[in-house]
């Protein structure tokens, strides 16, 4: 089982978009020895600000315009249990990375931060055997882009976020399926 947790600040825009885009992509897998049943995909927040709230309406509409239903999803905060459970902790921006320090024990946070920085510098998220090097990554790094996922909460540009999420999830899934 490949377990992926997407994380953003509030868990009402970017991370649920990534969660449901990736779920759709794994449902559509072809020519791979992996299938949807091989994946567990979820999303969470680094903050407590939106806990219990549904996906933000413009994000919901963007997903729906691409045939993706996210009904029933409500925001929740990431926990240390999530860190222990998931194989991949995929963040939307650098602020999410910094905010993990409030969720993870200090030694784990510092280890993940160091592994993330090493992996990012070498553009290598997997070792020669295909094993994961650290759990933490930024979604756009999977697509070879050294930048954050566009945040529609501030920009209002849900199309740009859709493009980033789609590109990042496609690249990540391709790497996992290798």
Mean of all residue pLDDT scores within the chain: 92
* pTM (2 d.p.): 0.93
Q: How confident is the model at residue 169 (pLDDT cuts 50, 70, 90)?
A: very high
Q: Please pick, among 82, 93, 141, 151, the residue that the annotation labels catalytic.
A: 151
pLDDT value for 123: 56
Provide the residue count of the chain: 178
Collapsing DSSP to helix, strand or coil, 5 comes out as strand
Whether the per-residue pLDDT at 79 is higher than 70: the answer is: yes
- 8, 13, 70, 169: the active-site residue: 8
3-state percent breakdown (helix, strand, coil) of the chain, nearest 5: 50, 15, 35
Closest CA to 70 of 151, 127, 13, 129: 13
Task: Round to whole Å and give the CA distance between 105 and 110.
Answer: 9
Both ends of the chain: CA-CA distance in Å? 15
pLDDT at res. 124: 52
Which one-letter DSSP state was computed for residue 101? G
Q: What is the mean pLDDT of residues 32-41?
A: 91
Q: From residue 177, how far is each of 30, 38, 39, 92 by CA, in Å?
A: 11, 11, 11, 21
Instruction: Out of 13, 14, 70, 148, pick the active-site residue.
Output: 14
Catalytic site includes residue 28? no
pLDDT digits over 105-117, tens only?
999 999 999 988 8
CATH number (domain holding residue 40): 3.40.50.2300
Phi, then psi, of 74 in degrees rounded to 5: -130, 155
State the Cα–Cα distance between residues 63 and 59, nearest whole angstrom.
6
14 is catalytic: yes
Buried b (16+ CB within 10 A) or exposed e, 16-36: bbbbbbbbbbbeeeeeeeeee
Q: Which of 1-5, 86-90, 141-145 has the lowest mean pLDDT?
A: 141-145
* Choice between 118 and 78, residue whose per-residue pLDDT is larger: 78
Range of the domain at 123: 2-177
Q: How many domains does the chain have?
A: 1
């Amino acid at each position: 089982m490949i377990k992926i947790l997407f994380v953003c600040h509030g868990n009402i825009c970017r991370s649920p978009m990534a969660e449901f885009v990736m779920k759709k992509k794994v449902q559509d897998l072809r020519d791979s020895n992996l299938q949807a049943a091989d994946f567990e995909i979820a999303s969470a927040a680094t903050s407590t600000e939106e806990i219990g709230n549904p996906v933000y309406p413009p994000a919901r509409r963007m997903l729906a315009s691409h045939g993706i239903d996210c009904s029933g999803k409500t925001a929740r905060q990431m926990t240390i249990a999530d860190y222990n459970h998931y194989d991949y902790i995929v963040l939307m921006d650098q602020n999410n990375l910094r905010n993990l320090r409030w969720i993870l024990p200090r030694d784990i946070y510092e280890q993940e931060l160091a592994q993330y920085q090493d992996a990012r510098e070498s553009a290598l998220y997997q070792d020669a055997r295909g094993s994961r090097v650290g759990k933490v990554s930024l979604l756009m790094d999977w697509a070879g882009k050294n930048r954050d996922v566009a945040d529609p909460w501030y920009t209002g540009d849900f199309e740009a976020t859709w493009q980033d999420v789609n590109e990042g999830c496609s690249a990540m899934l391709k790497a996992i399926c290798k």
